[in-house]
């Protein structure tokens, strides 16, 4: 059964701290979730293409698999097709991540959200991470603590 969570951050001194707040789309409205977090001084995390790429890299380095990268509608079909081919070949050769990164660099440099979502397989579980900061899958707290939180801390805190 899939769980859902939403990424938030809070400035504490010079550093940002991050939480994954449980989200139940069948029981609560998205804007209510955001408003409750804002009342506690949390800001939502938007997962831009640079962060997505870093999550992909960390996934591969920890023995996970990239299943799919869902690009925005504005993405050139040639780029989308190349990404699909590279992802299939990545399972045989992780060094092809360099080629994948090259294909995604144009999106990462601008701080854009041209990557709508990514689907990964890590620790025998499937997850999807959306650009709006929603994460879905089983036991999402493990993915958050072992992958996403580390990427966010580096991105926001340097």
Nearest to residue 105, comparing CAs of 156, 147, 66, 54? 54
Under the banding of pLDDT at 50, 70 and 90, the label for residue 111 is low
Per-residue model confidence (pLDDT) at position 13: 92
Phi, psi of 22 (to 5 degrees): -55, 140
Per-residue model confidence (pLDDT) at position 80: 87
Q: In Å, how far from its chain's centre is CA 139?
A: 15
- Give a yes or no: residue 29 inside a domain: yes
DSSP helix/strand/coil, 139? coil
Same domain assignment for residues 96 and 139:
yes
- Give a yes or no: residue 156 inside a domain: no
Supply the range of the domain harboring residue 17. Answer: 3-44
Same domain assignment for residues 15 and 54:
no
- Give a yes or no: residue 85 inside a domain: yes
Same domain assignment for residues 87 and 106:
yes
**For range 55-59, the mean pLDDT:** 95
The structure's pTM equals: 0.91
- Give a yes or no: residue 158 inside a domain: no
Same domain assignment for residues 101 and 64:
yes
Same domain assignment for residues 68 and 85:
yes
Per-residue model confidence (pLDDT) at position 55: 96
**For range 54-64, the mean pLDDT:** 93
Same domain assignment for residues 110 and 83:
yes
Nearest to residue 51, comparing CAs of 43, 59, 41? 59
Per-residue model confidence (pLDDT) at position 77: 87
Same domain assignment for residues 35 and 11:
yes
What total of structural domains would you count in the chain?
2
Choice among 7-21, 33-47, 72-86, 115-129 with the minimum mean pLDDT: 72-86
Q: Which of 44, 60, 77 is the last residue of a domain?
A: 44
Same domain assignment for residues 75 and 130:
yes
- Give a yes or no: residue 132 inside a domain: yes
- Give a yes or no: residue 157 inside a domain: no
Per-residue model confidence (pLDDT) at position 68: 96
């Amino acid at each position: 059964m899939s769980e859902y969570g939403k990424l938030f951050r809070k400035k504490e001194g010079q550093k940002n701290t991050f939480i994954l707040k449980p989200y139940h789309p069948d029981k609560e409205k998205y804007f209510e979730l955001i408003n409750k977090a804002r009342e506690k001084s949390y800001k939502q995390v938007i997962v831009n293409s640079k962060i997505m790429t870093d999550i992909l890299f960390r996934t591969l380095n920890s023995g996970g698999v990239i299943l799919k990268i869902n690009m925005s509608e504005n993405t050139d079909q040639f780029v989308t097709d190349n990404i699909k081919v590279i992802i299939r070949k990545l399972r045989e050769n992780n060094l092809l991540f360099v080629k994948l990164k090259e294909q995604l660099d144009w999106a990462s440099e601008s701080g854009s959200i041209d990557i709508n979502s990514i689907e990964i397989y890590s620790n025998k579980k499937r997850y999807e991470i959306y650009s709006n900061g929603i994460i879905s899958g089983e036991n999402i707290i493990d993915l958050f603590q072992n992958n996403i939180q580390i990427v966010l801390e580096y991105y926001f805190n340097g």
